[in-house]
């Protein structure tokens, strides 16, 4: 038995609660026995790095879901199928493989799945998780565990009705503040604080010079006082001074929308940064007189941060860490409330030739976003969401501060999957990524992939 097998055996024995005796003298007679085995190979499919089932019931499946019984000894073998460097890990069970270099090489991890739940297996080479190399390990019967959490992810299609060329009106919005356990990612949850049970809260859509009444109710089962501060409001605290609402109560105020633009709103109850980080942010769109020009597609997207005691990738209920918040060290970053919101939960789509408008804001509370769509150029950027300033033209990446917003517009000219990111790209490793799927005819004069290329070289 080699050193690698000894290390695996000791790890397995430790997980089971015992250490074998006289292993040095009898190592040739001792072999770890797995209750269940899986074989995966690495591959590049549809521009992504992935694991593919290589045998048995999971054969041919991309990033297959691996199901095992609680307490089972699990062996996962990975075969390098594309020649690039890879590895595999199951962080929840402290299982980490060697690195694979060269097509045909292989490695195996062996561990005991000692607790029920949904966990992640992943390639830990920097950038490979963001490129698609991760999947779920389901231990035991976890149906009841998964079903307890609310889906707080905001549908990016919920943009409200354009105001068009109408006269100013008196508009009333009812907002409800809630505290709910919501799905953060596959196998993990967080105690979110929300407006109307989603993160971000609803996009409120009005016209310049509308008179707006806000009725803010705090749910009866809330523990905390909540409030709302609209950056579009001219008045004390943007409304927060008069909407500190105890559980079960409602408070109201009325304002006139003096300025056009796209504005953030958020809870402003101390500690304000905690309330915002927990999910209490959204945006209000104040269209200019006559409304915004028509486009084919509109999407509502906000970037946020979570500060948890547990590291990114941990399973179960994640707990808030005030220390990490004060140090500005988020463990999780996301678009629209959860890790999966714009990659799995909701499918943003457009067709070749259509014009797309994105209402984008940063709830924060701390990080500035370098908003970027890989493979596209923004035709128009309304910098800092100002509608009275001329838009910037032909922009690759635009800065959006916490508590700020932008509106971008572009025509989609070529089919494919486009990645929405903060171009501080390390943040993609903590969940900050979304997809825009474009369908239609390919125009080889714009982009031609027919020539020979190395698919492992990236973009």
**Binding site for Cu cation: residue ranges?**
226, 231, 266-267, 275, 280, 423
Please state, in angstroms and rounded to a whole number, the distance separating the CA atoms of residues 303 and 298: 17
Q: State the Cα angle at 342 between 175 and 89, rounded to 5°.
A: 125
Residues with Cβ < 8 Å from 267, sequence gap 6 or more?
A: 177, 193, 195, 226, 227, 228, 229, 240, 275, 276, 280, 281
In the beta sheet, which residues pair with residue 346? none
Q: Which residues are annotated as a binding site?
A: 226, 231, 266-267, 275, 280, 423
By three-state DSSP, how is residue 305 classified? Answer: strand
Per-residue DSSP letters for 106-162? EEEEEEE--S-EEEEEE--STTTTTTT-EEEEEES--HHHHHTSB--BPPTT-----
Please state, in angstroms and rounded to a whole number, the distance separating the CA atoms of residues 261 and 270: 27
Residues with Cβ < 8 Å from 396, sequence gap 6 or more?
A: 372, 377, 378
Residue closest to 265 by CA, chosen among 255, 280, 277: 280
At which residue do the structure tokens 């080479």 appear?
125
Please state, in angstroms and rounded to a whole number, the distance separating the CA atoms of residues 135 and 458: 21
Radius of gyration of the chain (CA): 25
Which backbone phi and psi does 261 adopt, to 5 degrees?
Answer: 145, 180
In the beta sheet, which residues pair with residue 87? none
């Amino acid at each position: 038995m080699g050193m690698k097998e000894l290390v695996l055996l000791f790890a397995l024995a430790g997980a089971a609660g015992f250490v074998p005796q006289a292993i040095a003298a009898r190592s040739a007679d001792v072999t770890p026995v797995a209750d269940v085995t899986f074989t995966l190979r690495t591959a590049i499919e549809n521009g992504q790095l992935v694991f593919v089932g290589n045998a048995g019931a999971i054969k041919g499946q991309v990033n297959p879901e691996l199901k095992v019984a609680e307490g089972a000894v699990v062996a996962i073998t990975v075969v390098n199928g594309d020649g690039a460097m890879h590895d595999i890990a199951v962080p929840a069970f402290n299982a980490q493989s060697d690195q694979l270099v060269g097509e045909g090489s292989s490695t195996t991890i062996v561990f005991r799945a000692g607790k029920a739940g949904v966990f992640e297996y992943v390639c830990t080479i920097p950038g490979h998780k963001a490129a698609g190399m991760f999947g779920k390990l389901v231990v035991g019967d976890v149906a009841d565990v998964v079903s307890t959490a609310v889906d707080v992810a905001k549908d990016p299609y919920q943009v409200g009705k354009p105001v068009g060329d109408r006269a100013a009106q008196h508009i009333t919005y009812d907002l409800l503040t809630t505290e709910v356990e919501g799905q953060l990612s596959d196998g993990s949850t967080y105690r979110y604080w929300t407006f109307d049970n989603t993160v971000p809260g609803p996009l409120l859509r009005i016209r310049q010079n509308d008179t707006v009444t806000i009725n803010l109710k705090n749910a009866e089962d809330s523990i905390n006082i909540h409030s709302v501060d609209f950056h579009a409001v001219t008045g004390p605290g943007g409304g927060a001074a008069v909407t500190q609402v105890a559980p079960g109560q409602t408070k109201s105020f009325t304002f006139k929308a003096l300025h056009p633009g796209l504005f953030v709103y958020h809870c402003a109850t101390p500690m304000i940064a905690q309330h915002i980080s927990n999910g209490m942010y959204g945006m209000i769109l104040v269209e200019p007189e006559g409304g915004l020009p028509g486009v084919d597609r509109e999407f509502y997207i906000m970037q946020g941060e979570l500060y948890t005691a547990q590291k990114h990738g941990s399973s179960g209920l994640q707990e808030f860490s005030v220390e990490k918040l004060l140090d500005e060290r988020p463990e999780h970053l996301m678009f629209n409330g959860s890790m999966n919101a714009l990659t799995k939960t909701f499918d943003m789509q457009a067709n070749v030739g259509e014009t797309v408008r994105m209402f984008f804001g940063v709830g924060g509370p701390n990080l500035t976003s370098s908003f970027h769509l890989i493979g596209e150029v923004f035709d128009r950027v309304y910098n800092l969401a100002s509608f009275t300033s001329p838009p910037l033209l032909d922009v690759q990446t635009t800065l959006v501060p916490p508590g700020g917003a932008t509106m971008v517009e572009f025509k989609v000219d070529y089919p494919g999957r486009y990645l929405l990111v903060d171009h501080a790209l390390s943040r993609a490793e903590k969940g900050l990524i979304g997809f825009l799927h474009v369908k239609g005819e390919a125009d080889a004069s714009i982009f031609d992939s027919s020539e020979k290329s190395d698919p492992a070289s990236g973009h």
